[in-house]
Amino acid sequence: MSAIQENLQQSQLLSEQEQQQPSQAVQAPHMAQVKPVKEKKAKKNASESAYPLEVSPIPEYVAHRIAMFDELKKKADEAIAAQPRLPISITLPDGSIRDGISFESSPLSIAQSISKSLAEKVVIAKVDKVLWDLNRPLVQSCQLELLDFEHEEGKAVFWHSSAHVLGEACEKHYGCHLCVGPPIEEGFYYEMSMKDERVVSQSDYESLETVAKNVIKEKQPFERLEVSKEDLLEMFKHNEFKVQLIQSKIPDNTASTVYRCGPLIDLCRGPHIPHTGRIKAFAVLKNSASYFLGDANNASLQRVYGIAFPDPKQMVDHKKYLEEAAKRDHRRIGREQELFFFHELSPGSCFFLPHGARIYNTLMSFIKSEYHKRGYTEVMSPNMFNVKLWKTSGHWENYKDEMFMFDVEKEQYGLKPMNCPGHCLMFDVRERSYRELPLRFADFGVLHRNEASGALTGLTRVRRFQQDDAHLFCRLDQVGEEIDATLDFLQHVYGIFGFEFSLALSTRPEKYLGKIEEWDVAEQHLTDALNRFGRPWSINPQDGAFYGPKIDILIRDSLRRNHQCATLQLDFQLPERFNLQYRNSNGSSSSEGSDFSRPIIIHRAMLGSLE
């Protein structure tokens, strides 16, 4: 995935879950395996779509890109050829060491030296824990891992490369300008700007698959090239979207990389599979409309989704999986059983019918009964606040684009997207004593988040929702005990529902509030609690909230899909920003001395949103 694509992925119009949303995208009626393409079949497909299989003549921008790439690649190859060839050692995960030559040996050559079957199965390499193209030469002694499609990172690379095949097919068939094409949870997509206001239709799918299968048959190699920002702007000058990304995301006087397969050259960090022939089954799944960068104020784009596998049998299995997922789709069940529905006059806001409301209220009553047993106090807080609150909390800087804002008497207000700032005001309404802590505020208040319309996916992504949200205000010496109790609460709730769940510690992100020392302490508290809990857990580097590290909990549904519902977050920042304090055991009322201390906040939810 390119550096730009990675930076944009969180702000894309559709979430990864959108791939399962038939109501907002046209679904493919078939799955295609990669087979030799007969000319007669190609003509049939082209006539079905009422457009030629490939545009002619080739667009000028394609020839311009290729000419620049060839010139720059020649210089890059000459520079590599001039590098000295030195002996290097390649250490494999089992501790064995292979000899190599710098700028000649590659991960693929090492795999071939081990076994032919391994070389055919491996998708991508990791060199000193950094993803690395299989054909890219090694430059020094290193540790080498070889990943196949079953590895999470291997699968993402395979689908990213498949997205480039889809992008090449789209360019050839439509003569379009490509925008971004990342891998997602189940496959990949490419979005594009179409000329003459043409839109993608279901009748185009076979033509796109025909072109894609020809690309795969050609075994086009993926070629990597580092290019300066200045040359990138020249290379992509015909594509206004690429130009905007280059200008906004790549610093001046630096470089990024492009990858080429066939005539397609795209801004991309990579890495990629060795060549397109590694793809053995390819299908176009659906299409939808989108906006550039997920912003409705930007240009409207067309998005095409696909799926691909290194084994045709995997495509057959995936088709069965999609059929089963369609049967179990909660939106379909909600309609058929008259539980809930959505309406275009209030997008992302669910209408719960009587049976649905009973289920909803039963869930809430269950959590309330647990609150009573576990020492929680239920509170109610306002739905809208002056923008000053969000500026104090730090949400304005980090979250304003996801909030619904409006003016009231020349002041700006916002519907609350979360409860924590309001709970800080409730804690601060009077002087607090150390004897009151821990103070556990639970709130089922209505929350609103301004999700893009295309990202709305039934009850899994909404604009209006309620959480079983609580904030625990405690002393530093109580943090461990409170986290332990929260994890016990979690295990009890999920045990009743029969959910399998996994745990991950999300650490300090690049954009964060507060001091690194405070983050280190908070992360250590969560690490210790996870170790005491005794279940396996993993680390999500740099995936914490901007105000503190967190424990993310993923549950699995009957189709083995992961969903994040519960969360547990440790926060040293909000108490500081709201100047929260409690009288400690010294007993003095002077806030100037050491007689007052700051509480620590634990944000937690069990069900997440009740929806």
- The catalytically annotated residue of 5, 220, 302, 467 is 467
- Phi, psi (deg, nearest 5) at residue 50: 65, 15
- Asked whether the beta carbons of 573 and 548 are under 8 A apart, the reply is yes
DSSP 297: T
Q: Which residues contact 235 (CB under 8 A, 6 or more apart)?
A: 64, 65, 68, 69, 227, 258, 265
Specify the amino acid at residue 90. Answer: I
Q: Which of 15-24, 431-440, 521-530 has the highest mean pLDDT?
A: 431-440
- The catalytically annotated residue of 164, 260, 550, 604 is 550
- The catalytically annotated residue of 420, 424, 474, 565 is 420
DSSP states along 77-98: HHHHHTS---EEEEE-TTS-EE
- Our answer to whether residue 391 is catalytic in this structure is no
State yes or no: pLDDT of 234 exceeds 50: yes
Quick: pLDDT tens for 458-488: 898 899 999 999 999 999 899 999 999 999 9
- Our answer to whether residue 112 is catalytic in this structure is no
Tell me what the mean pLDDT of segment 29-46 comes to. 44
CA distance 341 to 255: 49
- Our answer to whether residue 75 is catalytic in this structure is no
Indicate the helix (H) or strand (E) that contains 3. helix 3-8
- The catalytically annotated residue of 204, 266, 443, 469 is 469
Count, in order, helices (H) and strands (E) of the chain: 18, 31
What is the per-residue pLDDT for 31?
46
Alpha helices in 400-539 (DSSP H): 420-427, 479-497, 516-533
What is the per-residue pLDDT for 610?
93
- Our answer to whether residue 328 is catalytic in this structure is no
State yes or no: pLDDT of 41 exceeds 60: no
Which of 246, 231, 266 shows the shortest CA–CA distance to 71? 231
State yes or no: pLDDT of 8 exceeds 70: no
State yes or no: pLDDT of 45 exceeds 80: no
- Asked whether the beta carbons of 121 and 154 are under 8 A apart, the reply is no
**Tally of CB atoms within 10 A around 304:** 27
- Our answer to whether residue 469 is catalytic in this structure is yes
Rounded to 5°, the CA angle 289-292-293 comes to 120
CA distance 370 to 549: 26
- The catalytically annotated residue of 275, 449, 463, 583 is 449
Indicate the helix (H) or strand (E) that contains 304. strand 300-309
In three-state secondary structure terms, 195 is helix
CA distance 76 to 96: 33
- Asked whether the beta carbons of 80 and 246 are under 8 A apart, the reply is no
- The catalytically annotated residue of 471, 525, 583, 604 is 471
State yes or no: pLDDT of 35 exceeds 70: no
Quick: pLDDT tens for 243-253: 999 999 999 99
Per DSSP bridges, beta strands 281-291 and 26-27 are: antiparallel
What is the per-residue pLDDT for 197?
77
Of the listed ranges 10-14, 285-289, 507-511, the one predicted with least confidence: 10-14
- The catalytically annotated residue of 331, 432, 440, 603 is 603
CA distance 54 to 319: 28
Quick: pLDDT tens for 85-108: 999 999 999 999 999 999 999 999
Higher-confidence position of 32 and 370:
370
CA distance 453 to 289: 11
Residue 606 burial (C-beta neighbours within 10 Å; 0-12, 13-18, 19+): buried
- Our answer to whether residue 372 is catalytic in this structure is no
- Our answer to whether residue 355 is catalytic in this structure is no
Q: Give pTM, 2 decimals.
A: 0.74
Tell me what the mean pLDDT of segment 216-236 comes to. 97
Query: Looking up tokens 């000329």, which residue turns up?
Result: 195
Quick: pLDDT tens for 255-269: 999 999 999 999 999
Q: Which domains does the chain have, with CATH numbers?
A: 3-76+152-327 (3.30.980.10), 366-381+431-609 (3.30.930.10)
Quick: pLDDT tens for 552-571: 899 888 777 788 888 898 88
- Asked whether the beta carbons of 519 and 552 are under 8 A apart, the reply is no
State yes or no: pLDDT of 204 exceeds 90: yes
Give me the helix-helix angle, 39-49 and 205-217, nearest 10°. Answer: 150
* Cα dist from 495 to 369, 393, 490, whole Å: 16, 35, 8
